[in-house]
Structure 1
Amino acid sequence: MAVPVGAAGSGGEAGSASGGSLRLQLLGPLRMWRGDVELDAGPPQQALLLALLLARAGRPISTSRLVELIWEDAPASAVNLIHKYIGTLRRLLEPTVPIRGTGSHLQRRGNGYLFVAGNAMLDLAVFRELVQDAETALTQHRPEAPDRYVEALGLWQGSAGDGLTHGPAAISIFAGLHDEFYAACVAAADLAESLGRPERVLPSLRLAASMAPLHELVHARLVSTLRAAGQQAQALDVFRTARTCLADELGIDPGPALRAAHQRVLVGGTAPAAGARPLVRPRAPWQAAAPSGRRPAGGLVGRAEELAVLRQAVRSALDGGRGFVIVDGEPGVGKTRLLEEIAAEAGQRGAFVVWGRCLEGAGTPSMWPWVKAIGTVLDALPAETRDRWQAGVIGGLLRRRDDDLVAPAMLDGGRFRLFEEVVAVFREASALWRTLLVIDDLQWADDASLHLFSHLADQLPEGTMIVGALRDRAPAPGTDLSRMLAAASRVSGHRRVHLGPLSPPEVAELVRGETGRLPGPGAARGIHARTAGNPFFVRELSRLPACQGPLTEDAVALTEVPSTVHDVVRDRMTGLGADTRDLLRIAALIGREVHLNLLARAAGLDVRACLDHLEPLEALGLMESALEDPCAYRFAHDLVRQSVAETIPRRRAAQLHLDVAEALERAEPGDDSVAERLAYHLWAAGPLADPARTVRAQVLAGRRAAAKSAFDAAERDLRMAARNPANSRSTTDHRA
């Protein structure tokens, strides 16, 4: 019989007025108890409704979405039925609640409902807490990590909501929970095998394998764990069964992880093999403490389901497979923070983490994320290998001088050769180290960068994982980005992760981490309502002076909460001095990340004075120093930069663009990034810039873009130069 969560008769938040604690099981057949008495969840559709709300505990589900999840062909009365089921379930869970009362657990949120679980009430919540405890203990090298994993895995009694009848729309809800279980099984197996205690995780691994007959990583871990436990015959049986299933169902052979596990069985021996690693692997020589260059202090709030998907992809790459994930969401929802978290975890496990960031603005050099990412990879390769690659087509992408601006080969199939060389470079890197490539802010990527992203994802080498992140609005995906996403969806193993808003409890936890004080339920609901659960908005709101006192519901209600982040930024700029405000505006025109020397030159300041003006900007959270480069500063969020730029009067912006252009020209003339950025700032300066000078810069920028196979950007720059009146005058003068 399944063991219910919590001890019988325990009190706390799970208690009810009827005299017993309420406990719910979702990790297996849906079951409920009050005290020692088991409750009936009711008819199938009512039980499915409860299971769906439990699976998304703490997060609201709209009524229209519930209708889609419960019925394939919804009746006209579907909404009324949901309201009826909710009322029945409320009385079942809390018998003393009045007929029209809301209760503590099944609550209305907008046009939907959410389930709020009490302490130790829901097995899914307890499972996630135990897994998080295990991962924290493992990172801190504390001995209780194996026990936490075993305790967490023991909560699973079968497939989530086993026995419930649901349509295809609900599959993804429960599949996400299963992915969390599989990921925890794999992690626990790694740890148990490395500690010489493989038998502790065998029951859970067998359950996971029975739930997912086509999940190669789970079966590979079961084979390895059986071998380590001295059960070679059973390990071979598992491999043969998995191989047959893959062939019959998918028409494919086992992948590298399953083949490697099988090979270790054939080699023999019961001691943990070299492939049975602890979760925390020694760092590779090139890695710093935070492989991403920046991992914010404190734990990540929420995002358990999303992290489970990313962790599974990382484990696949670490085992010699491939991983490909696209993360999307609205601006400020925490996409970059999620990428930093998974990058840090992958780095701790020995992966080579490579970042490429797309920058917003017409002045951004074409192929910029790949220039940075490929440069990082080449720098890590042995000198002889690096020189060989730099002498080829890929060297033209990285070259920073005027020589060979437009190689003829690039105009005749050169883009394909460049893309193939990039694939080959990552194949060579992944042969040395398992590699995680992160490309952030894909909504700002140029056409050539998006084509290369698709090309690499389609031919991803074994031992490599690629993660891309993009906004799904502001701006909405353009044609090129939409085509890339469509192509990505056809890549085998592709996963798409959408980041939604935080729930009210998660908002409260985020505010606590930001201010050191936990808001009450009323204040948390008020902050959530005014920010729509957007983490960036929540942080900005919590930094306002009105939120520095007691975080009560009245205090939140009286706070002038900005309707948009632009209002938040303007509010925080109010107390700045004129010189500091001008420096901030110049930085906003330069871009998300600003080099200190360039900023100082554009503002007409020395570096020390520039640092003095940056100090209050750091205190307000508008800008921050870049940990990976002590001479660089960056905006806390690109939304902040956009908001600041919009405060600049048009005529003043033209002069500031010219100041930036003057500062860029005083930089290294042959710098590849300067040409395209210079052309943009001279163009934005309009009539204040010498037209002939602008034309020369646009022509050079077009030639440099063409040299990198970014032909769309090259055409744009050259067309702008051709339309410039100075170009017509210079042509007329030449003919005269």
Structure 2
Amino acid sequence: MTDSAPVRFGILGPALARAADGSALPIGGPRLRALFALLLAHAGQAVTVERLIDGVYGDQPPEGAVNALRSQIARLRAVLGDAVSSDPVGYRFGGDPDEVDVHRFERLARAGRTALGHGDGARAAAVLREALSLWRGPALADVRAAPFAGSLTVRLEELRVTALEDRIEADRQRGAVADLVPELRELVAAHPLRERLRAQLVSALAAAGRPAEALAAYADARRVLADELGADPSPALTAVYLDVLRGQPGDKPSGVQPAEKASGVPRTLPATVADFTGRGADLTAIRQALGAAAGGGRLAVPIVAIAGRAGMGKTTLAVHAAHGLADRFPDGQLFAGLHAGGPHPVDAAAILERFLRMLGVHGGDIPAGVDERAGLFRSLLADRRVLIVLDDVGDEQDVLPLLPGSTSCAVLVTSRRRLAGLAAATVVELGQFSPEHSLELLGRVVGGDRVGQEATFARTLAEQCGYLPLALRIAGARLALRPHWTVRQMAVRLVDEERRLDELVHGGMAIRASLSLNHDALSDPARRLFRLLAIPDAHVFSGWTAAALAGAPVDTAQEALDELVDAQLVQPILPGHGLLTQYRFHDLVRGFARQRLAADEPPVEAATALGRMLDAVLALTRAATGPQMAAEVLSDHSRTPAWSPPPMLVDAVTEDPPAWLEQERPSIVAAVHQASRADLSEVGHALAEAVHPFLSLRAYRDDAQAVLTAALDAARRVGDRRGEAVMLFTLRMDVPDVHDQEGALRDLARTEALFRQLGDRHGTSLSMRAQAFVAYRYGRTTTALQLFTSARPEGRDAEVAYILQIEAAIHLLHGEPAAALTSLAEALDIARTSQKPRVLAQVLYRTGQAHLAAGDHESAAGPLRDALAVAGQIGDTSGEAHVLVEQARVELRRGNPEAAHALLEAARERAAGAHDRLAEGQVLTAVAELDRTRAADSLRQAADRFRSVGSLVYEAQALVALAEAQRTSGDEAAADATRTRAAQLVDRMEPALAARLRERL
């Protein structure tokens, strides 16, 4: 189809290079292939040296990376000749782009899409087939470990699947439809969330004269796409389905076009339902109340409160209305479910945290209190047009902290009660559907012809459903998934009073009858699993939870869970890796499941199932956090769990531990609270201890504090001394938030006493070390030195090295560099054999500090260089920041201010990236040494940073230096005020340190 030269170079498969005669050219090892692939991906464009180094080495380039790159370029040129050339900013692959498979593929794919848009299906199919033939396997197959490969592989795979979709559409245009079905089934299985592929499959089946299979394919799409997370069938996919119902397949393009790129604007509305029916007057009222919000001229934030009984369709109406108003609120739409109708409502603090993260606030910068969060939220929305949807609200107090301050925003609320206390709110009260709207909804769900053929029985069915939208949807879905049932059969089933409870007629509890129909049709294992799934407090659960609750093999549990999905009693909301798939109940279904649990499951069996589930959560959380976080584990591991996850599940979790922990965080946190409420202290405190490092790392401070406090309370209630000790220790070792010195020391003394009672030498030592560290931070350095010496265990393990380097830090504060170097020599000898790289990095860093304090900056350079390398290897960004500060001081002593400035900029970047305020303060103190003209401002900021993390010693040092800078600049009044503040801190310190600081005041 083209006159292009043969493809000689490629990355659509393993890296490919051919000579002009077609013979293969050897590229070399992994890094050389990665460099070659990166240049090919940008053929015809200059790639900077920095981009090439980042692409080949990532965040940890070796020393001399530029020289190494030059050497590799020379090796590539030896193989490829002039195809690789130099450029003022870097290097480029200068050959013909059409000789490179990826560039030819993109050109042909664009040409095919253009032909498709012009209705030339034959040419489009031929060109797209040629494009797809260029793929020799997975893109970048032999360089996928390269740092640049991940994002590029995702992009190329997206282009490949899009080209496949276009080629299928081109084949449909030219009439080759029936032959597409096998290929589409395979593609849908490989890409279950591609709605365009699913639409093409539905259309192809219908065009092939297989309408029943087409309807089943659409039903399968509805099951897979998550209703409440924005994954309902789209209007385009639904339109194809409706065409099938009307007997009009194949009349229009059968698919969803590729989505536009994300704009960064938060848009978290769930998808609206395709079969939305009625509520015209209510929609008009909502649009009139909120539609002009963006226009200004209002004195109050526009609010609409939708009220109505359970099952009336409040959420459906709110989401549908919000989508219709989206263009009026271009800065985003935020959605949150408060679950006031459930046993564990979500509070405003948690929702504000989620909203702030969506608006770009890092977890470490989110304030602790509700009022502070609400203030920040209002500030961020002050100049934006955002629609906020709050679903299932309990009362007015739930809403108030979540209201924006700007009248350019608007709020849409749903509640089971009339929220008369919301000032100036427009209230929309929902009643039941009319019989006409009920029949219309049934027709949209089941099919208009099917309802019309049995109109009498359809009216009876609507009446039996109480004209409630959710009940009608559930009954209609049962019919839609069973084409062999008649409407009469469903109506007859509801006549049976054993199947249809009185609440079906009386409104509020009407849905119970429909749920009973689904429930009664289940197998015994599925019914038992259904009620057991009501045990977890979390609103969302994963597939593995089913196996743990049932105490069954994972395959057996998955079969029962799939049966519940088919019965629409649970909804898959986040497809994952097998048992990692997540599910949820609708609140009403969850309530029904709890009733069945109370009625059908013996309390002893329910308690046993809870124990199995908690043990599963604990085992998987430990598996996920163990390899990633070097937490001190003080809980007892000797207890035999009631249920252990199979190796295949553990392997799935440890493929990407941070991702699994992020996904499961709400469930793990809920499990800690549930264990604590049930006084299951042993598993509760072990689970809190296991998840705490992750919560701290990701700045989920509220959750971290809450799980530790809940587990501590439970341990104290049941007299669990180990649980109390472990939780109290972990609470007080959240060092950056320690501001209560006396309380911290008191609690840590209590943990020491408890561990001594238990005969736990390791716990005792850690508690003493923790007390020493708190004393050290608050200037009680002599006491800290004594405690560290007492806490030092026998032997030569990493803990000894860690304590020795802290003792060295105290010697440096006391002005004793020689004593510090003596301790560090022993510490370094131990650390090098400890196999604890973080401790080795700390000892090397402290050794460099000690040499600097002794006036020997040349001896400091080596240990600091080694410390930076170790910190980089283990990804310790905060550690790198601290080391870079000391390296800057070395360069300053050498008389190299430019080099010092560059090092401090690198340190500032790393400290900011890690949200490490202590490191930020150290950077600012070093900046003050480098630039005396900015010293006062830098030191003022440094003191603020140190105060924010409760470091009295560093704050005092910064204030002493600030007073000196102010005095030097002639600002005696400011210097006097700063000296007064510094003296107040110094007076709280012990004599050895206080005396040194007073000398400078």
Output the TM-score relative to the length of structure 2. 0.27
Higher helix share: 2
TM-score normalised to structure 1 length: 0.35
More relative contact order in 1 or in 2 (CA 8 Å, sep 6+)? 1
